[in-house]
Amino acid sequence: MNSRFVKFIAMALLATAAGAEPLSNSLSGQIIDAMTNAPIYYVNVFLANTTFGTTSNANGHYYIKNIPAGSYTLVISHIGYEVATQRTLITPTSKSIVNFVLHPTVIEMDTVRIDVARDREWRRNFKVFEKEFLGYSENASACEFINPEVLRLFREEGSEELFGQSFLPLVMTHANFGYRVRIIVRSFRVTDENTTYMVLPIFEEMAPASDEQAREWADNRRSAFHGSFRHFFDALFHRQFREAGFSLEEVEDAKRFRTSTAQYDSRSADGEVYSSTDYGLIKRLHFPYYLRIRYKENWAQTSFLKLPFDTVEVDWHGNALSDIQIIRSGHWGERRFADELPLDYRPQ
């Protein structure tokens, strides 16, 4: 197993309270060309790491409705234009208008070798990308990239560090979860010590071939959620992490059997591990060393969290309100994008 630290940068900040019903909140706006001032139609507009998305119409207008309250990254993507993003706060009953001016860009196709079959270096790098991006769980083998050629993968001369990004959305299907995912890879980096990536994904439900497959997908999604990084933060901020099956300790380093310096229950963690902010769905984390989290007292499901700074503000899913995210290792460090679910997923 890979024990290196992994930083996940998902660029999406959905902060919906557990069990909350979607409201009639909406996002709308118009998208125009910066050079011609003409509206741009059929632009992909979505909230990163969710299933919420649409396309602009002939007049460049878009409309997304029934958005749960929270903080989001709105993404605007269209071939031939620079990707635009805007962090947007949705409050109850809000109807936000966000307009965009897109700048044309040139895709330098000659910097990428499309003939993958004859590019041994690219294929070697792609295998590393698959392993480091998808992770080490059984769900990784259920993921298939439909258009891997859109990835630009390279190593700087004299270095073994791998870098990558996509010049078009990378399309992936997940046979275990029943999702088709379009992923804009803004950056990807593998070093001897860690893996970091910044991605903008949109999840789309696949049509099941049978009722049996639909049940299987639902079971797999539910299984992936329970015991996950997101499940923990949802339970932590609702003061229910003990009831959800998690134990929480502070340790000086990331070792499974290290004696803890402090132990917390669902109430004592409030004020010691995190504090409230003026915006109720946002919390401020503050712990000096590592948090050791174990699910259902299973030593094999031991995870460690470390803050990149003294304090970090996060939403209810543990996503930091900046591009610098919490560092995960242990069990959660091995589970990466292949185990991710859209942030609007709720287990039934």
Q: For residue 194, tell me if it sits in a domain.
A: yes
Of 61, 84, 102, the domain-final residue: 102
Q: Could you tell me if 267 and 310 lie in one domain?
A: yes
Q: How far is CA 31 from CA 56, 104, 240, in A?
A: 8, 13, 43
Range of the domain at 294: 228-339
**Beta bridge mates, 313:** 284
Q: Could you tell me if 186 and 272 lie in one domain?
A: no
Of residues 207, 186, 206, 209, the one with CA closest to residue 197: 186
Q: For residue 10, tell me if it sits in a domain.
A: no
User: What share of the chain has pLDDT > 90, as a percent?
Assistant: 70
Q: What is the pLDDT of residue 328?
A: 93
SS3 for the chain is: CCCCEEEEECCCCCCCCCCCCCCCCEEEEEEEECCCCCECCCCEEEECCECCEEECCCCCEEEEECCCCEEEEEEEECCCECCEEEEEEECCCCEEECCEEECECCCCHHHCCCCHHHCHHHHHHHHHHHHHHHECCHHHHHEEECCHHHEEEEECCCCCCEEEEECCCEEEEECCCCEEEEEEEEEEEECCCEEEEEEEEEEEECCCCCHHHHHHHHHHHHHHHCCCHHHHHHHHHCCCCCCCCEEEEEECCCCCCCCCCEEECCCCHHHHCEEECCCCCCEEECCCCEEEEEECCEEEEEEEEECCCCCEEECCCCCECCCCCCEEEEHHHHECHHHCCCCCCCCC
Single-letter amino acid code for the residue at 154: F
Q: Could you tell me if 64 and 141 lie in one domain?
A: no
Q: What is the pLDDT of residue 315?
A: 84
Residue 48 belongs to domain with CATH number: 2.60.40.1120
Q: What is the pLDDT of residue 279?
A: 79
Over the range 107-137, which residues count as b (16 or more CB within 10 Å of their CB) and which as e? eeeeebeeeeeebeebeebbebbeebbbbbb
CB within 8 A of 121, min separation 6: which ones?
none
Instruction: Place 7 in a pLDDT band, splitting at 50, 70 and 90.
Output: very low
Phi, psi of 94 (to 5 degrees): -80, 150
Q: For residue 79, tell me if it sits in a domain.
A: yes
Q: What is the CA radius of gyration of the chain?
A: 21
Q: For residue 13, tell me if it sits in a domain.
A: no
Contact 329, 303 (CB under 8 A): yes
Q: What is the pLDDT of residue 193?
A: 83
Of residues 188, 203, 192, 231, the one with CA closest to residue 332: 231
Of residues 230, 172, 222, the one with CA closest to residue 202: 172
The yes-or-no verdict on residue 16 having pLDDT over 90 is no
The yes-or-no verdict on residue 285 having pLDDT over 70 is yes
Q: Could you tell me if 90 and 129 lie in one domain?
A: no
Of 80, 102, 124, the domain-final residue: 102
pTM: 0.85
Q: What is the pLDDT of residue 119?
A: 81
Q: For residue 286, tell me if it sits in a domain.
A: yes
Q: Which residue has the higher pLDDT, 308 or 2?
A: 308
Count up the domains in the chain and report the number. 3
Q: What is the pLDDT of residue 114?
A: 52
Q: What is the pLDDT of residue 323?
A: 72
User: What share of the chain has pLDDT > 70, as a percent?
Assistant: 90
Instruction: Place 103 in a pLDDT band, splitting at 50, 70 and 90.
Output: very high
Dihedral sign, Cα of residue 56, residue 62, residue 66, residue 72: positive
Q: Could you tell me if 77 and 147 lie in one domain?
A: no
Q: What is the pLDDT of residue 107?
A: 61
Instruction: Place 15 in a pLDDT band, splitting at 50, 70 and 90.
Output: very low
The yes-or-no verdict on residue 1 having pLDDT over 80 is no
Q: Could you tell me if 45 and 92 lie in one domain?
A: yes
Q: For residue 210, tell me if it sits in a domain.
A: no
